[in-house]
């Protein structure tokens, strides 16, 4: 399918980008889209607008203080941005490592740092590099997670364009975050409070939690002439047996955020791979396109469940690059809770895949109604 990226741009004034969160998470605006109709409410009332017998699926990844500032003896400032663990490659093991670990990183002012060791003197954290892989060492009896809590900074998105403040540590994190590893927040979940989650339980609205460790690639603009050529970011996902069982018995599945959606749709395609004899849990960016005679949701998920049973495991760890753009057929998700995204981004394409050309109407209405945009902005409930 030919996609002209110009058709997925819109004018976003800088003053409409939310640089700070609202004082209370659930007081954000909520745009409702259903059957082509748009209405408006406040996020704390979202339970009144969800489909009957639906399940909300949350991404419980936890943002780590992924920005580290080092200074060379010459005074040169080197910024190291953690992207993905390499040794050990398992997120949990890496965050709990002592003495040393390695990450693939983006390096600011890299020309000033070749191979020599640099240090954060206050805590004795030292670093050496080999291309984009940085090895960290320390002598204190601390885990890498504890080191980061002391030495690292929360990685706010580049478009927020301000210094990190103390409250960002809490507010650029969902209240249900659990598994450390993300370098960007699953921002659709920032609107939920503990009180609102309790209200969902009281109203009998089912909830489930899976994990996708959000990478910095989520902010990468599309620069390729052909959308298909855009290099999608690879992210680790973790699915439990309970997740699959809950999905099998759910009639309407609403992911909270694009990361939850990408995880759920990737899970479906992993079931397809298993039915074709391929056990590698990696979904390349264009894998979903061009298939024929594909199974329904139930058959795909049962294939995953059977595989887990045969291998006596209650958890699957995989990776996905899935690229969802107009022309994609959703196999698991029947709606989406999401914020408002950058013009011409992969996430705008995902929204357009969900609601078609009406994405333009939704964004025009949000701009007209003074919605706040991007990570700290307002939200929408899109029902396909």
pLDDT per residue as tens digits for the range 300-325: 999 999 999 999 999 999 999 999 99
Percentage of the chain beyond pLDDT 90 is 85
Write down the domain spans for the chain.
5-63+172-383, 67-153
Contact 150, 138 (CB under 8 A): no
For residue 357, is the peptide bond before it cis, meaning its omega torsion is within 30 degrees of 0?
no
Is 72 exposed, middle or buried (CB count within 10 Å of its CB: 0-12, 13-18, 19+)? middle
Q: How sure is the predictor about 19, in pLDDT bands with cuts at 50, 70 and 90? A: very high
pLDDT exceeds cutoff 90 at 215 = no
Q: Which positions ≥6 away from 243 have C-beta within 8 Å?
A: 208, 210, 267
The confidence score (pLDDT) of residue 1 equals: 55
Q: Beta strands of 241-351 (E only): which ranges?
A: 252-255, 282-283, 315-320, 335-339
Q: Which has more confidence, 116 or 186?
A: 186
Angle between helices 346-355 and 358-368 (to 10 degrees): 110
C-alpha separations of 218 from 32, 239, 337, 369 in Å:
24, 20, 17, 26
**Strands 125-130 and 133-137, bridge-based pairing:** antiparallel
The pLDDT of residue 121 is 66
Percent of the chain with pLDDT over 70: 98
Q: Tell me: pLDDT of 112 over 80.
A: yes
Q: CB within 8 A of 159, min separation 6: which ones? A: 17, 219, 342, 374
Angstrom distance (rounded) from CA 268 to CA 273? 9
Contacts of residue 61, Cβ cutoff 8 Å, sequence gap at least 6: 177, 178, 179, 180, 181, 182, 186, 211, 212, 213, 214, 259
In this prediction, residue 46 carries a pLDDT of 98
Predicted local confidence at residue 233, as pLDDT: 80
| Single pTM value for the model | 0.95
254 by Cβ neighbours in 10 Å (0-12 / 13-18 / 19+) ranks as buried
**What are 59-75's pLDDT values in tens digits?**
999 999 999 999 888 88
| Contact assessment for residue 144 and residue 96, using Cβ atoms and an 8 Å cutoff | yes
Residue 49 tokens, joined: 């607008």
Q: What is the pLDDT of residues 121-174, one digit of tens each?
A: 678 899 999 999 999 999 999 999 999 999 999 999 999 999 999 999 999 999
Q: Return the CATH fold of 5-63+172-383.
A: QueA-like (3.40.1780)
* Average confidence score pLDDT of the chain: 94
pLDDT at 120: 79
């Amino acid at each position: 399918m030919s996609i002209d990226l110009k058709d997925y741009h819109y004018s976003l004034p800088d003053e409409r980008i939310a640089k700070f969160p609202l004082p209370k998470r659930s007081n954000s605006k909520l745009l409702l889209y259903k059957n082509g109709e748009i209405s408006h409410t406040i996020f704390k009332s979202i339970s009144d607008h969800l489909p009957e017998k639906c399940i909300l699926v949350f991404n419980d990844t936890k943002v780590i203080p992924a920005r580290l500032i080092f200074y060379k003896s010459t005074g040169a400032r080197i910024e190291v941005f953690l992207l993905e663990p390499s040794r050990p490659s398992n997120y949990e093991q890496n965050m709990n490592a002592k003495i040393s670990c390695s990450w693939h990183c983006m390096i600011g002012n890299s020309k000033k740092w070749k191979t020599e060791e640099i240090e954060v003197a206050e805590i004795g954290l030292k670093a050496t590099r080999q291309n984009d892989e940085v090895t960290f060492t320390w002598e204190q009896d601390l885990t890498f997670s504890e080191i980061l809590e002391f030495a690292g900074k929360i990685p706010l998105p580049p478009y927020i364009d301000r210094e990190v403040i103390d409250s960002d540590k809490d507010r650029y994190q969902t209240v249900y975050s659990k598994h450390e590893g993300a370098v960007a927040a699953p921002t659709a979940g920032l609107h939920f409070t503990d009180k609102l989650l309790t209200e969902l339980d009281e109203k009998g609205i089912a909830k489930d939690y899976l994990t996708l460790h959000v990478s910095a690639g989520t902010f990468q603009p599309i620069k390729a002439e052909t959308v298909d050529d855009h290099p999608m970011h690879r992210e680790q996902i973790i699915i439990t047996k309970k997740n699959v069982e809950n999905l099998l018995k759910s009639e309407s599945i609403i992911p909270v955020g694009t990361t939850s959606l990408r995880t759920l749709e990737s899970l479906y395609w992993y079931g397809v791979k298993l039915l074709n004899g391929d056990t590698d849990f990696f979904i390349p960016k264009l894998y979903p396109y061009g298939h024929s005679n594909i199974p329904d949701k139930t058959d795909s998920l049962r294939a995953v469940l059977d595989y887990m049973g045969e291998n006596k495991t209650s958890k699957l760890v995989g990776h996905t690059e899935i690229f969802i753009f107009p022309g994609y057929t959703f196999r698991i998700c029947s709606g989406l809770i999401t914020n408002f995204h950058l013009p011409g981004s992969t996430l705008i394409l995902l929204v357009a895949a969900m609601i078609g050309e009406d994405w333009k109407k939704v964004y025009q209405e949000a701009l007209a109604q003074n919605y706040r945009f991007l990570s700290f902005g307002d939200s929408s409930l899109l029902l396909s």
